[in-house]
Structure 1
Amino acid sequence: MRPMYAVPLGLAAAGAACVGYAAGIEVRSFRLRRVTVPVLPRGARPLRVLQVSDIHMVSGQRKKQRWLQSLAALQPDFVVNTGDNLSDPTAVPETLDALGPLMEYPGTYVFGSNDYFGPVPRNPGRYLTARIKGTAARGAHAPKKRSAVQNPWPELRDGFDAAGWVGINNGRGRLKLDGFEIALTGLDDPHIHRDRYEEVAGGPEADADFSLAVVHAPYLRVLDAFAADRYPLVLAGHTHGGQLCIPFYGALVTNCDLDTDRVKGLSAHTADGHRSYLHVSAGCGTNRYTPVRFACPPEATLLTLVESPG
């Protein structure tokens, strides 16, 4: 007969092993996701788009920096950065250095809340508790608590702009690739209510070859607006893919009002009878105070855009 304490000790050991793996191994197991999206007009050549998101750079994260630098070997046609680059106010130089090889390519960016404000200590179980109580979706309306620490986001912006990347926080822009012109529409972060869709409303630009929508946090109000305006593709981040997932089940939370079935990867969103593709990046970092990932490795995505069949 087993001692009464054998089962609790076994569970404690298993839990410790999971935490050790999540904090010591998986959080540094960087991956590349590859996705094909049929959205381009007839006759257009395929376009290779590298999406990086939720880097959450902390000074001294050398392995993450080297991995980001290595992504330049993919030779993308252009790069989309969907925000939350920082998790340390001193890490702007290292972030720009890590992204330096990618900034040799055309690119565009929007910011997330962690680009503007420093992180605060938090219990990762808070998101799970919110899910159980049915409050996970309130983020679409509830005010967000902001850190008192201001990140030096103008330095980050200036570094991106100096490299020629196009900032589209509540704005529009253009990329020209060998005679193919892409119209960009972006929003500032809905997670902290900085999105101003009325400033960019109107849908795709008729004189562009392709129109792309970009936002950090995939809140439903934003996805509805983009889909209703007939954008063929929306790129977002923010969710961390759930960050702490259950093997063979998936994410429990998204940290916004998006459903967990679409917490990462390619899906679709429909509004007013119009359908857009949605790609949500699981990102490659974590808040510095919750440096763990489980069943959700850090990632970037290489999207290959090809002709639409319709």
Structure 2
Amino acid sequence: MLAGLGLAAAGGAALAAGAAEARRYTLRRHRLAGLPAGADPIRVLHLSDIHLTPGQERKRDWLTRLSALPVDLVVNTGDNLSHQRAVGPLVEALGPLLDAPGVFVLGSNDYFEPRVRNPFQYLLPDTGKRRTDVPELPWRHMAATFTGRGWLDLTNTTGRLSVKGVDLAFAGVDDPHLAYDDLAAVDDAAPVDAGVRLAVAHAPYLRVLDHFAQRGWDAILAGHTHGGQVCLPNGRALTTNCDLDNARARGLHRHPADSRPGDPASSWLHVCAGLGTSPFARVRVACRPEAVLLTLEPVA
């Protein structure tokens, strides 16, 4: 009996620690050379997997404070919502960030309500089956609000923005996790006349990463993985919830993984571990929730 009580206490302590970590919001920073020589640095705020519900006041407050950063561009890689009434609180929390130049794509949890699910299923091989027989979330309202404030919707399309005098070219796809991505719609090579070429997707499936790398996009930004969410003590992810290898579940890497800068048909890959979780399992282990300030710098 004492052993059982000890195990229960240990399990409860681990659950409490995981719940606390899920609220330890962190701003990570990376630098990436790629701008034309002589250009001023461009600070890109990469947001992903906010999974907001109206009652998450600590998360909303932390998001609001991000507007004090010197942000030149916002890249939002989806899964913003986890509740039917989350759009208003989301827009309020983003605040002045919506006045900065921005681009976005959608994720599965922008489209459909979350549902209770055994969290251990994420550690099993992906069957490819997706539940779309649940109520839709107000993604149309959210997307219209974003575009109304000037952000580019990169759902299976391309676009351009001028930021600090640099011409930025973008390509994006709809959520690959739901197989909504239309790679034929973004089949052209990255434009050679742009100062920087950035590709955007919610889920970093290899077919999408290969497609953009082979077409000359300088960097690919994605989310979806939650950095593994429940990781080993050294931060090693146990899963990515897609076919990306666990070693690249978050952070700045190359794609293909064995490529080097300057190699043909290769790109930088940045995966944001995101700010949220399922509202039914608000736990993270060795994987703090994050937003990332990615500073693009001129090539030396």
- Using the size of structure 2 for normalisation, the TM-score is 0.94
- Most deviating of 190-199 and 6-15: 6-15
Q: 2:142 aligns with which of 141, 148, 156?
A: 156
Looking at structure 1, the residues matched to 6 and 299 of structure 2 have their Cα atoms a distance apart, in angstroms, of 53
Looking at structure 1, the residues matched to 3 and 31 of structure 2 have their Cα atoms a distance apart, in angstroms, of 47
Measured after TM superposition, the shift of residue 153 of structure 1 is: 0.7
Looking at structure 2, the residues matched to 115 and 248 of structure 1 have their Cα atoms a distance apart, in angstroms, of 31
Q: Which amino acid aligns with 1:22?
A: G
Looking at structure 1, the residues matched to 97 and 205 of structure 2 have their Cα atoms a distance apart, in angstroms, of 28
**8 Å contact from structure 1 (residues 120, 147) kept in 2:** no
Aligned residue number for residue 253 of structure 2: 267
Aligned residue number for residue 238 of structure 1: 224
Q: Which amino acid aligns with 1:190?
A: P
**8 Å contact from structure 1 (residues 118, 147) kept in 2:** no
Aligned residue number for residue 226 of structure 1: 212
Question: CA 1:250 to 1:147, structure 2 compared with 1: closer, same or farther past 3 Å?
Answer: farther
Q: 1:299 aligns with which of 287, 290, 300?
A: 290
1:154 alignment partner, SS class: helix
1:213 alignment partner, SS class: strand
Question: CA 1:299 to 1:147, structure 2 compared with 1: closer, same or farther past 3 Å?
Answer: farther
1:274 alignment partner, SS class: coil
- For the pair 1:283 / 2:274, whether they are aligned, the reply is yes
Q: 2:36 aligns with which of 38, 41, 46?
A: 41
Measured after TM superposition, the shift of residue 292 of structure 1 is: 1.1
Aligned residue number for residue 10 of structure 1: 6
- Most deviating of 190-199 and 204-213: 204-213
- For the pair 1:82 / 2:68, whether they are aligned, the reply is no
Q: Which amino acid aligns with 1:302?
A: L
**8 Å contact from structure 1 (residues 186, 215) kept in 2:** yes
- Most deviating of 156-165 and 262-271: 262-271
Looking at structure 2, the residues matched to 101 and 147 of structure 1 have their Cα atoms a distance apart, in angstroms, of 35
Q: Which amino acid aligns with 1:112?
A: G
Unaligned runs of 5+ in 1: none
- For the pair 1:61 / 2:56, whether they are aligned, the reply is yes
Q: Which amino acid aligns with 1:283?
A: G
Looking at structure 2, the residues matched to 200 and 303 of structure 1 have their Cα atoms a distance apart, in angstroms, of 24
- For the pair 1:103 / 2:98, whether they are aligned, the reply is yes
Q: Which amino acid aligns with 2:295?
A: T
Looking at structure 2, the residues matched to 125 and 203 of structure 1 have their Cα atoms a distance apart, in angstroms, of 40
Looking at structure 1, the residues matched to 164 and 265 of structure 2 have their Cα atoms a distance apart, in angstroms, of 30
Looking at structure 1, the residues matched to 91 and 176 of structure 2 have their Cα atoms a distance apart, in angstroms, of 24
Measured after TM superposition, the shift of residue 293 of structure 1 is: 1.1
**8 Å contact from structure 2 (residues 51, 277) kept in 1:** yes
**8 Å contact from structure 2 (residues 252, 270) kept in 1:** yes
Q: Deviations over 1:110-135 (max 9, x none)?
A: 0001111111111111112x0xxxx2
Looking at structure 1, the residues matched to 89 and 159 of structure 2 have their Cα atoms a distance apart, in angstroms, of 27
Looking at structure 1, the residues matched to 150 and 289 of structure 2 have their Cα atoms a distance apart, in angstroms, of 27
Question: CA 1:178 to 1:38, structure 2 compared with 1: closer, same or farther past 3 Å?
Answer: closer
Looking at structure 2, the residues matched to 147 and 214 of structure 1 have their Cα atoms a distance apart, in angstroms, of 27
- Most deviating of 246-255 and 49-58: 246-255
**8 Å contact from structure 1 (residues 123, 290) kept in 2:** no
Q: Which amino acid aligns with 1:297?
A: R
Aligned residue number for residue 146 of structure 1: 132
Measured after TM superposition, the shift of residue 42 of structure 1 is: 2.5
Q: Which amino acid aligns with 1:18?
A: A
- Most deviating of 206-215 and 111-120: 206-215
Unaligned runs of 5+ in 2: none
**8 Å contact from structure 1 (residues 215, 236) kept in 2:** yes
Looking at structure 2, the residues matched to 179 and 246 of structure 1 have their Cα atoms a distance apart, in angstroms, of 43
Alignment RMSD (CA, Å): 1.5
Measured after TM superposition, the shift of residue 96 of structure 1 is: 1.0
Question: CA 1:60 to 1:29, structure 2 compared with 1: closer, same or farther past 3 Å?
Answer: same
- Most deviating of 282-291 and 255-264: 282-291
- For the pair 1:202 / 2:193, whether they are aligned, the reply is no
- Most deviating of 252-261 and 283-292: 283-292
